[in-house]
A and B are shown apart, each in its own frame.
Chain A
């Protein structure tokens, strides 16, 4: 790429290090390294295959959502229903297969269609009403939460679905969503980790190398300007909400087929974790800036700390305090990075 552009003699050659330092995900990467080293040194299990299997699995499902939420945040919107939808899609598959005997793959596709529909409703409502997405998706969050609990109870008389493994073709679906195709040092690496890597790679490609990515940055950075130069703002934003909902479906499937159960309250309370991971990864709360890799790293930090605290034998609730500190630190760091990006050459 650099060979195609004549380098201006007034641009001092910046070292690769300097250029890397300006990326939005730098803060998350350095924090992830520090945290890994810390838990690797202070606990016995953390840096083993079995340990990594657990924290990678936790990071992966949060990470897929964090990446999708990061795209949405770069596009200038929030989605508080992102957590509830992971439970909703799992319940749809569970109820359809267990109660109504629907083919498992058909049920999976139906729940995907429903998820995309919910995403589209979120997006269209936000765009048509001009209301902040925070409020609109808070609404859908509560609606979904209500349906998850009351709907499931009304249909099957309980608030959890169990025994999914008795459903025909369960094993085939589990291969796609819940298997452990790789074993390292006695620890199975779940297939969700590969989904996570794939989603992050695709999201990064879209953001940095496609027109859609250009539009995502533009609608989040300056929506009026984007509209004036002909960016399809409506399509871009609705597409982002649908992407987030689609990611919610994927995570719903990953959770369902890993454990073969799903609770009605799955995902509730996770929506803020996704936002925190995205912000830790360099997303601005105001939109127009951020990175998918950063969000994936944010989720990695979450997974490592969540499990590292357990291995270290501390009270699990310290995680919340840690997340709060991380969020505040990241917001301050992001503001500083943004100012540098806007002023430094």
Chain B
């Protein structure tokens, strides 16, 4: 009864199936002690949840992505980095089931899969939090949290929302993610961008995600808010989820990442565990190392560009 089957189908789950709250509360502080991480999803720490091998995507004669390999493990953060047009969105669309891949193999929980719809991905426990967050800003936090998967009680014409339970779960789940809300009744539009992001993450976690794909969650945020989101990414990781963190900012990726996949022009520039990659390497790979050097050279030839080039050499 306390099993969390993903109720994302849009059908109501009876109140008798509601997850045991005591478990949520008791499990949250256990996040620190290694192998005993709370997941309730049956995935072991470090287990490969999703693995892609030499995966690629062609749209007609356009090769959007080719030869990309990486792995997403339970309790780890896999960062996907790349500039605009590097193939990041194609990559997440494959993982999220929005597009199926045309080359290579994708292995989900040990089984080879080709995802044909986001629904299928969700059923496998792969949830995606898009940049627009899928929240309705005039609705209260708790209504947003359960939107599309509301808990109900009673039968027939008196079947109604189980409001106290939903409020309690929303508050507890957000608290477990480290989001301490004053009041879950406030419209979600009153939260900051970072907090809204976190509600979306907490919602995906609650509804049974094993793998969480975050599409540029820090792109529109200021420095402080980005820090808040990074904290929640770490919290999701510590709860035993495999996190795919898409970003173009190496400074955001490095502190939370366990593995880094760098994409450029639709190709993989490499897939490194953190131990093999220093932040400086990551930054220079992102910027495109050799290309940057030639740009500096080019700028030096014009008088106006010389100053910029000098600055670029100081601050890579």
Contact = CB atoms under 8 A, between A and B. Distances in A.
Contacts of A303: none
A106 interface: no
B161 A210 contact: yes
B133 A225 contact: yes
Contacts of A224: 132, 134
B164 to A, nearest CB: 4
Contacts of B190: 342-345
B10 A341 contact: no
Interface stretch (B54-62, B82-90, B180-188, B250-258): B180-188
A5 B10 contact: no
B189 A342 contact: yes
Interface residues of B, number: 36
A5 B167 CA distance: 7
A342 B187 contact: yes
A343 to B, nearest CB: 6
B164 A1 contact: yes
B273 interface: no
A214 B143 contact: yes
A135 to B, nearest CB: 25
A327 B137 CA distance: 25
Contacts of A209: 160-161, 163
Nearest to A19: B185
Contact of B138 (A211, A228, A342): A342
Contacts of B147: 214, 218, 225-226, 229, 231
Contacts, number: 97
Interface in A8-27: 8, 10-11
A4 B169 CA distance: 11
Contact of B135 (A1, A222, A231): A222
A205 to B, nearest CB: 8
Interface string B128-160: 001011111111000100111110100000011
Nearest to B7: A230
B136 A10 contact: no
B185 to A, nearest CB: 9
B183 A8 contact: yes
A190 interface: no
Contacts of A98: none
Contacts of B146: 214
Contacts of A288: 136, 138-139
B163 to A, nearest CB: 6
B183 A230 contact: no
Contacts of A232: 10
A140 B51 CA distance: 54
Given A217-B143, A222-B137, A342-B189, A211 B161 contact: yes
A214 B168 contact: no
Interface string A195-238: 00000000001000111011101100110111011111000000
B2 interface: no
Contacts of B189: 342
A221 B160 CA distance: 21
A177 interface: no
Nearest to A288: B138
A225 B136 contact: yes
Nearest to A229: B148
Of B133, B161, B171, most buried by chain A (CB within 10 Å of CB) is: B161
A307 B174 CA distance: 53
A250 B165 CA distance: 37
Contacts of A210: 152, 159-161
A345 B182 contact: yes
A229 B119 CA distance: 10
A213 to B, nearest CB: 8
B277 to A, nearest CB: 34
A289 interface: yes
B266 to A, nearest CB: 27
A8 B180 CA distance: 10
A215 B152 CA distance: 14
A338 interface: yes
Given A224-B134, A225-B134, A226-B136, A231 B148 contact: yes
B8 interface: yes
Nearest to A235: B10
B139 A211 contact: no
Contact of A218 (B136, B167, B171): B136
B12 interface: yes
Contacts of B192: none
Interface in A46-102: none
Contacts of A229: 134, 147-149
A11 B171 CA distance: 14
A289 B133 CA distance: 20
Nearest to A10: B182
A338 B9 CA distance: 32
Contacts of B165: 4
B168 A231 contact: no
Given A11-B182, A342-B190, A345-B182, A230 B138 contact: no
In the A-B complex, list the 10 residue pairs whose CB atoms are closest, starting with the nearest. Answer: A4-B164, A230-B148, A229-B148, A221-B136, A230-B10, A228-B134, A225-B134, A222-B136, A342-B189, A211-B150
15 contacts: A1-B164, A4-B167, A5-B164, A11-B182, A205-B160, A210-B159, A211-B161, A218-B139, A224-B132, A225-B136, A229-B134, A229-B147, A232-B10, A341-B187, A342-B189
Given A211-B161, A229-B149, 10 more contacts: A214-B143, A217-B136, A221-B137, A225-B132, A225-B135, A225-B147, A230-B149, A231-B10, A338-B138, A345-B183
